[in-house]
Chains A and B, each alone.
Chain A
Amino acid sequence: MMIPTFFGITLLTFAIGHLAPGDPLLIETDSPLPGSASQETIDRFRQAHGLDLPLYVQYGRWLSKVVRLDFGHSTQDHRPVTEKIAESLPKTLLLSTLALFFAYLVAVPIGVYSAVRKGWLERAVTVALFALYSMPSFWVAVMLLLAFSSGRALDWFPLQGLTSEGFAAMGLAAKLSDLAWHLVLPVFCLSYASLASVSRYMRTGMLEVIRQDYIRTARAKGLSERTVVFRHAFRNSIIPVVTLLGLMLPHLVGGSVIVERIFGIQGMGLLAFDAIFHRDYPMVMGVTTLVALFTMASVLLSDVLYAVVDPRIRVEVAS
C-alpha cells in the first residue's frame, strides 16, 4: 500500500516542479547565463542538466536521486537541499511534538470531563472549544504578539526566534529555560486547533462507549464511577483518538508555515515558505517530498498505535 502512495507523492511533487510557466531553463539561467546566451550555450546547458530528455526519463532520474536522498542544491545559496533541511527539521519537530503533546495533555481530560459531567461548565467548555476551532492561527498569533510581546500591554514573551542573543554561552539550565520561554506562544498557536478537535473526538468517543451495555453492567456491579469511567469507558474510547495522531500531522505541518513565519523560527515551515517565495525548485521539491513521506510514515505509525491499543486488531493481524 505504501509503495503506490510513494510513487503518487513523488509524481505529484515532480509535477509541481514542472508547473513553471515556460521552461525551467528560464529560471535556471536567471543568474549563471547572460540574457544573450547563444543557442549553443543553451543547448549545452540543457544537455548538462538533462533537460533535453523526455519528461518520464527526467522523472526517473530525479526519483533515483530522491531514493538516495539527494535533492540537489538550493538555488538561493547553492547549499545542498538535504543539509538545509537537516538544519531546520529539528526545530519543526520540537515545535510539533510539543504542540501535539500539549494538545493531547489538555484535550483528553477535557473530552472525558465534558462527556461524563453535565452542567454549565461542560457547556461553556464545549462552546469555548468550538470557538477556538474557528479561530485562524495567524490571527491568534498576531493578537498574542500584540498582547504579550509588543511592549504595549504586557511584555512577557519574546517577539521572534527560538533563542536569545548569547544562547551559546548559556549553561544548560539557562538554555532550556530560554528555549521554553521562546516556545510558549508558538506552541500554543500550533496546538490550540488540534486541542479543540481532539477533545471533540474524545467526547464523542466517550459518549458512544458510555451508553453501551457493559458500562451499565459495570455500574450495576456497584463499581465506583471513577473505575467505570477510567478503567472501562476511557480505555475503549481512546482508540479513535490515538489514530487521529497520524492524521493531524499534515495540519501541523501546514500550520507550521504560518506559525514559523510569524514567530521568525527557522524551521521547515519557514524554509518551505522562503523556497516558494524565491522559486527555489529543488528546495520546494525536497521539502514537499520529505513532508509527504513524513506524513505517510505517521499514518503508518497511527495504524501501529491502533493495534497497540486495540487488542481486537492485533488478533486479526495475527490470524
Chain B
Amino acid sequence: MSAAQKLRGGPLFRVWRQLRRRRLSLVALGVLAVMFLMALMAEQLASDKPVAVRVDGATHWFPNLTDPAALRNENVHRLRSRLRPELGEWMIEPLIPYGPFQTYAEQPTQPTSAPPWAPDGEHFLGTDELGRDVLARIVHGTRVSLTVGFVAVSIYVAIGVLLGALAGYYGGAVDALVSRVTEVMMTFPTLFFILAVLGLMRVQSMVPIMVVIGLTRWTDVCRLVRAEVLRLKRLEFVEAARALGASDARIILRHLLPNAMGPVMVAATFGVAGAILIESALSFLGFGVPPPTASWGELLTQAHRYVVHPGAWWLTLFPGLAIFLTVTAFNLAGEGLRDALDPRLKE
C-alpha cells in the first residue's frame, strides 16, 4: 500500500471526507483559517512601520517586525512624505498603516475633536479613546484570543484526559476522589471563580489567565474520558491486550485513549470557543491582558464607557463581531466534527 493510499484509508481522511460534505463546516473552517492568518501576520497587516523600505541609502526588510534603531522615530506616514523616488527610494506599506498602539499624537492628521473618532477613509473602523485604529487593534487582538483559546484548552484537555483515564480505568478510591473533585469544580461558577483568582492575585498577564481557565474547565473532558474508558475497558480488545501482557500504562495510552479521542476533540473545539468568550469577558471587566495589549474585550469596555457620548457604535459593533465570528466558527467546526466522527447522529 502506498503512502497516499494509506492516507486515504486513514481515520483523519474519513473525518475530512465527512466534514467536506457540510457546507457550513467548510465556511467555518475558512473563517478560522483567515483568523489564524490574521494572528500570524498581524504586523504585516497593521503596523506603523513599513513591511520594507529603502530610505537614506539603506534598505530595511520587515522593520515592522525588527524595529531597527535607524527607523525608531519613523512611521509610515512620516516616511511617505520624506520618501524621494527620484533617488530610488521606495516603501512597501502594510495594508493598514497604523500600529495597535499608535495614539493620535503620533498620527499625521490632527482633527479638531477629541477621540474616539468615527470610521472614515483614514480609519476604516474608527478609533478608540486614545485615537488608536480599531481595525489595527482587532487584527492584533486576534493573537491574544487565539493563543488564550488554544493554550487554555490544551491545559484542560491534558488534565481532563489524565484524571478521566485514571478514574475510569482504576475505579474504586481513585474514581471516588476524582468524581468528588469534579463535582466541587462544577459547582463553582467558572467565570466568577476565575475572576476571583485573577483579581485577588493581582496578576494581569496572559499566562495566569490561560492557566486559571485551564485549571477550572477540565471537568467536562474528564467526565467524557472517564465514561469512554469505563465503556471501552470491558471490551474484548482490551482483554486481549492484557492477555498479551501489556502494562496498564500501555493499555491506557495505546488502546483506550486513542479510541476515546473523538469526543474529546469535539469538546476541545467547543472549548476553544468558550475560552475565547471567557478571555474577552475578563478583558471587558478589566481583568484581562494588561494594557496596552490589544484585546477584543478591552475595546468593548471602552464602548460601554462611550455608550452615551459620543455613542461610539464602532467600538461596539466591530470588536463584538470579531468575537462573535470566531466563536461561531469554532462552534460550527465543533458541530461539524461531531457529526463527522459520529455519522449515526445524521438523519
Contacts and interface: CB of A to CB of B under 8 A. Distances in A.
Contacts of A12: 184, 188
B327 A254 contact: no
A33 B248 CA distance: 58
Contact of A136 (B190, B277, B304, B311): B277
Interface of B is mostly: helix
Given A250-B190, A253-B189, A258 B199 contact: no
B187 A139 contact: no
A88 to B, nearest CB: 14
A253 to B, nearest CB: 4
Contacts of B286: 277
Given A135-B324, A250-B188, A276-B196, A159 B308 contact: yes
A5 B187 contact: yes
A273 B332 CA distance: 32
B307 A145 contact: yes
Interface in B203-232: none
Interface string A201-218: 000000000000000000
A253 B189 CA distance: 7
Interface residues of A, number: 50
Contacts of B180: 4-5, 8
B328 interface: yes
A8 B186 CA distance: 11
B192 A257 contact: yes
Interface size class of B (residues with CB under 8 A): 35 or more
Contact of A138 (B184, B186, B197, B284): B284
A295 B197 CA distance: 19
B161 to A, nearest CB: 22
Contacts of A299: 187
Contacts of B277: 136
Contacts of B192: 253-254, 257, 272, 288, 291
A123 B331 CA distance: 17
Contacts of A279: 199-200, 202
Interface string A112-123: 000000000000
A245 interface: no
Contacts of B323: 136, 139
Given A254-B192, A281-B200, A288-B192, A143 B324 contact: no
B316 A20 contact: no
Contacts of A250: 186-190
B308 A150 contact: yes
Given A12-B184, A258-B281, A142 B303 contact: yes
A261 interface: yes
B187 A9 contact: yes
A16 B197 contact: yes
Nearest to B322: A139
Contacts of A296: 187
Interface stretch (A61-69, A126-134, A163-171): A126-134
A238 interface: no
B280 A136 contact: yes
Contact of B285 (A142, A151, A273, A288): A273
A281 B287 CA distance: 17
A150 B327 contact: no
Contacts of A143: 316-317, 320
A232 B53 CA distance: 74
A1, A139, A151: residue with the most chain B Cβ atoms closer than 10 Å: A139
Nearest to B325: A134
Contact of B191 (A134, A142, A254): A254
Contacts of B186: 250
Given A5-B184, A134-B324, A146-B316, A19 B197 contact: yes
A130 B187 contact: no
Contacts of A151: 308
User: Which of B200, B319, B331 counts the most chain A CB atoms within 10 A?
Assistant: B200
A79 interface: no
A134 B285 contact: no
A150 B324 contact: no
A284 interface: yes
A136 B195 contact: no
A134 B273 contact: yes
B313 A136 contact: no
Nearest to B287: A276
Contacts of A291: 188-189, 192
Given A136-B320, A151-B308, A261 B285 contact: yes
A292 interface: yes
Contacts of A276: 195-196, 199-200, 287
Interface in A290-312: 291-292, 295-296, 299
A21 interface: yes
Contacts of A5: 180, 183-184, 187
A52 B323 CA distance: 48
A144 to B, nearest CB: 10
A134 B195 contact: no
B177 to A, nearest CB: 10
* Closest 5 pairs between A and B when the two form their complex, measured CB to CB: A8-B184, A254-B191, A139-B320, A276-B199, A250-B189
21 contacts: A1-B183, A5-B187, A9-B184, A130-B328, A131-B324, A133-B331, A134-B331, A136-B281, A139-B324, A142-B320, A143-B317, A146-B311, A250-B188, A250-B189, A254-B190, A257-B195, A273-B285, A276-B195, A276-B287, A288-B188, A292-B188
Given A152-B313, A276-B200, A291-B189, 9 more contacts: A5-B180, A19-B201, A131-B328, A135-B327, A139-B320, A139-B324, A257-B191, A273-B195, A295-B189
